[in-house]
Chain A
C-alpha cells in the first residue's frame, strides 16, 4: 500500500533552517508529484510548493519563494523540504502529500512533522 513516512519532530532557533524528509513506498516514486503543505498553530492548511520527483523541477507558492528548497534522492524514494530563515510563525505541522495527476488532488499524505521555532 502507498505510504509516505516523514521525519520526526524538530526544534529550531529563529533564523535557522529545517529540513524535513518524506519517504515513499508502495508506488513508483518518480510517477507522482510530491507537495508540501503546512498547518501553523490555530491556522488552516497552506500549500508551500511542489516537486516533480522525476525531473527535480520545483514550484513554490509566492509566499515561500526564496525560503523553501525542495529536493529528492530517487535512489531511496525520499523527498526533502528545507525552509530557511525560520521565524516563530513558521511553527507548524508540515505534511508531504502525493499529487494524483488524474484526479488532481492530494490522494496520500504523510503523517506530519511538527517543527517548533523557539529561542
Chain B
C-alpha cells in the first residue's frame, strides 16, 4: 500500500501570502493519479487538482499543482480568507486499485 506523507502538518500564514504544501509518496506514482482536495469543517471535501497539475472545474487560478514520481506540491499563490482549510493529497494505484489519502495539511490564519 502506497503511503502519502504531507508536510507540514500545520501551516500558519496570512491572507495575501503564498502557501506551498508538499505530498510525498512511499513509491513512485503516476501523475495521472494524484489529486488534491480542500476540506472545510461541516462541508464535504472539494477536489482542487487532478492529474497533479490540472485545476478542477471552478477552481481559481491561484491554485496550482506540480510534481512527479514521489514528490508533489500544491501552491496557493496569494491566500484569500476562504482558503484556510485542511488540504489532502490522494492517489490511485492502478495495479491494485487501492486509493490512499495523505494525512492532511491544516492551513491556519496567522
Contacts and interface: CB of A to CB of B under 8 A. Distances in A.
A46 B99 CA distance: 9
Chain A interface category by residue count: 20 to 34
A95 interface: yes
B91 to A, nearest CB: 9
Contacts of A46: 101
Contact of B50 (A44, A59, A62, A105): A105
B104 A107 contact: no
B25 interface: no
Given A45-B45, A61-B98, A110-B44, A104 B92 contact: yes
Interface of A: 35, 37, 39, 44-47, 50, 59, 61-62, 95, 97, 100, 103-107, 109-112
A50 B88 contact: no
Contacts of B44: 95, 97, 109-112
A48 to B, nearest CB: 9
A47 B100 contact: yes
Q: What secondary structure prevails in chain B residues at the interface with A? A: strand
- The secondary structure that dominates the A interface is strand
18 contacts: A37-B45, A39-B39, A44-B86, A44-B103, A44-B104, A45-B37, A47-B90, A47-B98, A47-B99, A47-B101, A50-B97, A61-B99, A62-B98, A100-B50, A103-B50, A105-B50, A106-B35, A109-B45
A61 B101 CA distance: 12
Contact of A50 (B1, B51, B99, B103): B99
Interface in B5-62: 32-33, 35, 37, 39, 44-47, 50-51, 54, 56
B104 to A, nearest CB: 4
A-B complex: 6 closest residue pairs judged by Cβ atoms = A109-B44, A105-B35, A103-B50, A105-B50, A44-B104, A47-B99
B45 A35 contact: no
